[in-house]
Amino acid sequence: MASKVIQAIYNDDDVLMTAVKKVKAAHHHIEEIYTPFPVHGLDKAMGLAPTRIAITSFLYGLVGLSVAITMMNFIMIEDWPQNIGGKPSFSFIENMPAFVPIMFEMTVFFAAHLMVITFYLRSKLWPFKKAENPDVRTTDDHFLMEVSVSGNEDEVMSLLQETGAVELLVSEKH
Amino acid sequence: MYTFSNKLRIGSYILMALGILGLGYGFLSAPSTIEEAKAVVAADSHHEVHDEEMAHAEAAHTTTHDEHATQEAHDDDAHGEHLLHQLQNKPWAALYVAAFFFMMISLGVLAFYAIQRAAQAGWSPVLFRVMEAITSYLLPGAAIVFVILLLSGVHLNHLFVWMDSEVVAHDELIQGKSGFLNVPFFLIRALIYIGGWVAYRHFSRKFSIAQDTAEDDSNFKKNFRISAGFLVFFLVTESMMSWDWIMSVDPHWFSTLFGWYVFASMFVSGITVIALITIYLKSKGYLEFVNDSHIHDLAKFMFGISIFWTYLWFSQFMLIWYSDIPEEVTYFVTRIEDYKLPFFGMLVMNFVFPLLILMNSDYKRVNWFVVMAGIVILLGHYIDIFNMIMPATVGDKWFIGIAEIGGILFFAGLFIYVVFSTLTKAPLLAKRNPFIEESKHFHY
């Protein structure tokens, strides 16, 4: 596919923010923005949907809690209910306070780790992944916005020029 | 400036009047002799079950009845006296729990306020006047608690068993503690705590108002310094206050993290009341600069401190349950046997409910969600204090009846009256606070 994008480079996050708002107002599609650090409010300006990762984390926590309860109920109560130091292993609820530290830790463990793995999967991050960086300066002190073009190249170019871009590049690699 | 709406003022009068009636009924209906006490218990218990049990017990004991006749007569006397003390304690304990509960709300707010000042928080200065108004209840509230303690000290009630010299004479454990647990020292300590808290509150409010018209930030700096100092004083006195005013109703029992546990309870109740009053004032259009983000922050604190309270509750419970040492565990044995519903019910109200309701970030911005969670948290922490005081003072004769509800209504009315009259005395937005601009534009 030979779709064209214009890469506009900025050297200030405030300029970038106003540029994003202008480009959105002119109804051009922003393909991607590369920044060296999180720019507060950028996702809102771009109109990105809010993340649902907290919801997944809550569900993973419930899984962890169920695993802990099932595991300890089976091991300590059903499979071999020994008398260990007089602890009441007749039913789960009777011995529950002793299980709470494990139930808590398992909930946190599942919620945290599975959420991080979800994040890696959704953001397509893994070791030996080839970096997708159109310009090395975007990890240091420059901000890069990619705007897709479909025949109206000059118009988009002049718009981006007005927004204070320090450099404009037309790229065809996408 | 805030004007105390007539509706609310009359409402607070009505609450106080109803509360006095309820408490008065509680005091008047308390038995004054052993015979009356027995009659009350006999009338209260479910007749059918009671009769059946009696018949059953008699049948089982007929053979040994004669041998124990003399012994039983003696036991009966001791039992009757015990019963009388428990029933006489009921209205006093109802009064004390409610008085302490509302005092602790304003003390919790005072601690929160001092933390906001010492931490130089940028979000909360728009709420300072609300917090200052809530802490204005501290002086009357603590004074009432002190009067109740004083009345216990002159033996008008049996709330604190270690104040009874006859009990102490036969109790070596209490004798060993009498260096700390004696009435004069107890009352002097109480005066020191209350004096320190009220003094901080007085000066902090004074500097806060002076800052409104000041030329420089010297009042703000003074407030910063006394807040930091107060927090040190508060941590020590709050801990000792919880030993004195609450733990000493069970003079045979002790727990090292009790002070923190009581602190967590007062802290979360205080933050909840800040949120509720802020939402009320905002809905009446008085707090122009308070936005959803401020409510969100308060709700986050309610959520976080609720979990902190649960952590301390569980740490205390689990350590004692796990080791099961007889001299410690009786505390929880009596609570689980006689107070099963309030004891575990408060866990649902103070932990499970806020955990599930306030976890979602969007819900923390919905005012009626915060109000609903706040009401449940406040009721839950009333029951928490109830569970601390009642088992040692009235035992299994507890009931949330007219006297208990009367106590809540009276102090709620007084609290509303004092807090909202203080709100009228100063502008609701602190001017010239170095952080006020940041706070006005606070956005999360």
Does A62 share its domain with A99?
A: yes
Going B164 to B169 to B170 to B171, the CA torsion angle's sign is positive
Q: Is residue A118 part of a domain?
A: yes
The DSSP 8-state label assigned to residue A105 in this structure reads: H
Residue of chain A nearest B322, judged by CA positions: A98
* Domain end marker among A100, A122, A144: A122
On chain A, the residues whose CB falls within 8 A of the CB of B324 are 86
Q: Is residue A127 part of a domain?
A: no
pLDDT tens per residue across all 444 residues of chain B: 899 999 999 999 999 999 999 999 999 988 888 888 887 777 766 544 444 444 444 444 444 444 445 555 556 677 888 888 888 899 999 999 999 999 999 999 999 999 999 999 999 999 999 999 999 999 999 999 999 999 999 999 889 999 988 888 899 999 999 999 999 999 999 999 999 999 999 999 999 999 999 999 999 999 999 999 999 999 999 999 999 999 999 999 999 999 999 999 999 999 999 999 999 999 999 998 999 999 999 999 999 999 999 999 999 999 999 999 998 999 999 999 999 999 999 999 999 999 999 999 999 999 999 999 999 999 999 999 999 999 999 988 899 999 999 999 999 999 999 999 999 999 999 989 999 999 999 988
- Provide the pLDDT for residue B1: 84
Q: What is the ipTM of this complex?
A: 0.89
Q: Is residue A128 part of a domain?
A: no
Does A66 share its domain with A109?
A: yes
Q: Measured between CB atoms, which of A54, A58, A97 is closest to B317?
A: A97
pTM of the model: 0.91
Helices B69-118 & B34-44 angle (0-180, nearest 10)? 80
The CATH number given to whatever domain includes residue A139 is 3.30.70.120
Kindly list the residues of chain B whose beta carbon comes within 8 Å of any beta carbon in chain A. Answer: 314, 317-318, 321-322, 324, 359, 361
* Inter-residue contact B96 to B411 (CB < 8 Å): no
How far, in whole angstroms, is CA B183 from its chain's centroid? 22
Q: Is residue A80 part of a domain?
A: yes
On chain B, the residues whose CB falls within 8 A of the CB of A98 are 318, 322
On chain B, the residues whose CB falls within 8 A of the CB of A58 are 359
- Provide the pLDDT for residue B72: 54
Mean pLDDT of chain A: 92
Distances in Å between the Cα of B334 and the Cα atoms of A89, B293, B382 are 22, 44, 19
Q: Is residue B401 part of a domain?
A: yes
- Read out DSSP for B227-291? HHHHHHHHHHHHHHHIIIIIGGGSTT---TTHHHHHHHHHHHHHHHHHHHHHHHHHHTT--TT--
Q: Is residue B360 part of a domain?
A: yes
Q: Of B242, B250, B261, B370, which is closest to residue B312 (Cα–Cα)? A: B261
Amino acid identity of residue B20, one-letter, is I
Tell me the C-alpha distance between B444 and B442, whole Å.
7
Does A17 share its domain with A34?
A: yes
Residue of chain A nearest B361, judged by CA positions: A54
Quote the number of domains for chain B. Answer: 1
Quote the number of domains for chain A. Answer: 2
Q: Is residue B343 part of a domain?
A: yes
Residue pointed to by tokens 């509302």:
B102
HSE (CB half, 13 Å, CA atoms) of B213? 5
**Whole domain around residue B413: which residue ranges?**
6-30+90-440
Q: Is residue A89 part of a domain?
A: yes
Q: What are the residues whose beta carbons fall under 8 Å from the beta carbon of B414, sequence distance 6 or more?
A: B12, B16, B102, B137, B140, B141
Mean pLDDT of chain B: 90
Interface mutation vs chain A, best among B311, B312, B322, most A CBs within 10 Å: B322
* Inter-residue contact B273 to B378 (CB < 8 Å): yes
**Whole domain around residue A35: which residue ranges?**
3-49+133-173
Does A67 share its domain with A114?
A: yes
Q: Is residue B308 part of a domain?
A: yes
At A173, the pLDDT band (50, 70, 90 cuts) reads low
Does A43 share its domain with A58?
A: no
Amino acid identity of residue B193, one-letter, is Y
H/E run at residue B89: helix B69-118
On chain A, the residues whose CB falls within 8 A of the CB of B311 are none
Q: Of B246, B253, B305, which is closest to residue B275 (Cα–Cα)? A: B305
Q: What is the nearest CA distance from B318 to chain A, expressed in angstroms?
A: 6
Collapse the DSSP code of A143 into the 3-class scheme (helix H, G, I; strand E, B; otherwise coil) and give the result.
Answer: strand
Q: Is residue A151 part of a domain?
A: yes
H/E run at residue B164: none
Tell me whether residues A97 and B318 touch, CB distance under 8 A.
Answer: yes
